[in-house]
Amino acid sequence: MFEQVSAEFFIPAKAISTVLALPMGRFNSVGSRTDNFYLNEHVGRSLASAATEKKLPSKVVLGSDEDKEDAPAAGWFKGLVWSPAGLVITDLMLTKRAQELIANREYIYFAPVFYANAEIPNDLIGLVLTNNPQLRRLAYGR
């Protein structure tokens, strides 16, 4: 069974074009969910390869719209690469509105949304701008 989950990464208050989408190693959810996840190099490279084969870019939405399929976009991305830190988005393009919300610190986290089978992410499908991320990183570089 596949589950859709979110992760979190703090947004710096400056121009953004690259984002660490999923970290290498272990990370877990907080709140009502207690799932644990693990990303290694093999899976990360596979996710990056699959993303480059997609015909359409992945969508970025605002946190309040994350459950709405037809929510207006806050941005788009298509490029994913593997790095020693994890899976990195290389071509993040945010709308003017999203850039303003980030600059004003109205949103401070990116929350990647992905499908997972057991504890292994298998499809990064988008990003959410949020102030209430549900996943936290447990360890780096494993």
pLDDT tens digits, one per residue of 61-115: 877 544 556 678 888 888 899 999 899 998 888 888 988 998 899 988 888 888 8
**pLDDT of the residue at 10:** 54
Mean pLDDT of 40-65: 85
Mean pLDDT of 16-42: 82
Neighbours of 2 (CB within 10 A): 11
Closest of 34, 43, 66, 60 to residue 132, by C-alpha: 66
- Give the H/E segment covering residue 101: helix 96-103
CA 17 remoteness from chain centre: 13
| Predicted TM-score of the model (pTM) | 0.76
7, 22 in Cβ contact below 8 A? yes
**pLDDT of the residue at 136:** 66
